[in-house]
Amino acid sequence: MPYKTFIVVFVLLAGAAEAQSNKFGFGCLGLVGGFAGYEIKHYEAAGLNNYVGAYNQLHGDSLFSGIGEFGMLKGYRLGINLLRNRVSGLEYTVKVFYEMMNEVKETQVKGSTSIYTNSLEYKQNVYGAGIELGTPLTKAISWKILELEVTYSNALFYKRTEDIKNPVSRIKYSSDKSQLGFNFASGFILFIIDQNISLEGKIGYSEFSVGVMTDEAGNKLTVNESSTEVMENAITKGGLFYGVQFNLSIPL
């Protein structure tokens, strides 16, 4: 199983980093701090995009333009670097983080007496832990050779509609099960003020999926509006992601 293999690699790397710290020692215990960043994440949403296609076909006569397909999340990442250190040419960081990302698709609908907006939104909340291994290239720049993260996420899907009788209505669907996933990436870190303030950029791959989703009344999200067939795979898999991140660290 890919997830099991990834977790084994993660544990081994964490153990190797700890062993290096014990072997070589540090002038101090390292750095601890927080970070904030912005990410763009690609993904494949076969179930949601089939729903969108059926919606555009069903309401085509009243739409100014069809709703676009899902496939690119944007959002923010906040976290804590529990330990960041440099040992005999090897840099390592152990961290935990939270991500909040979403994608919204809208369309203008021609009503009998006015124009109104319908929208669909996919939202993802992610909790995770990870380890980074890298090496300094110069005093001011480090190469993040490999970043490995384990993630635990839940998904939300909103349908918002407007009409004359009910100006705003919203249906909220939640994933029936939280999903285990993983990320791996590589990038560069620019140290602005010693090791205390830095800026980093990275690119990598994120793996996750979303299955059945249920609204607050207990109704399952179906493959399209006119069907009773339950949508089994809203999101089939992840894809490439890239982001930038600001780090603030203090010595232990």
Q: Provide the mean pLDDT of the chain.
A: 85
What is the number of domains present in the chain?
1
Q: Is residue 116 part of a domain?
A: yes
Strands 141-161 and 90-110: unpaired
**Predicted confidence band at 252 (pLDDT cuts at 50, 70, 90)?**
low
Phi, psi dihedral angles at 74 (to 5 degrees): -135, 140
Q: Is residue 56 part of a domain?
A: yes
Give pLDDT tens digits for 19-39.
444 443 333 556 788 999 999
Task: Please give the pLDDT value at position 62.
Answer: 78
Q: Bridge partners of 144?
A: 134, 187
This prediction has a pTM of 0.83
Which residues, other chains included, contact 84 with Cβ-Cβ below 8 Å and sequence gap of 6+? 30, 31, 32, 33, 91, 92, 93, 94, 195, 247, 249
Average pLDDT over residues 54-76: 88
Amino acid identity of residue 113, one-letter, is T
For the chain, report the end-to-end CA distance as a whole number of angstroms.
Answer: 38
- Residue 121, domain extent: 41-71+101-125+137-179+206-246
50: which 2 tokens? 């089939």
Give pLDDT tens digits for 126-153.
999 999 999 999 989 999 999 999 999 9
Q: If you write DSSP's letter for every residue of 126-156 in order, what string do you get? A: EEEEEEEEEEESSSSEEEEEEEEEEEEEEEE
Closest Cα partner for 206 from 90, 28, 72?
72
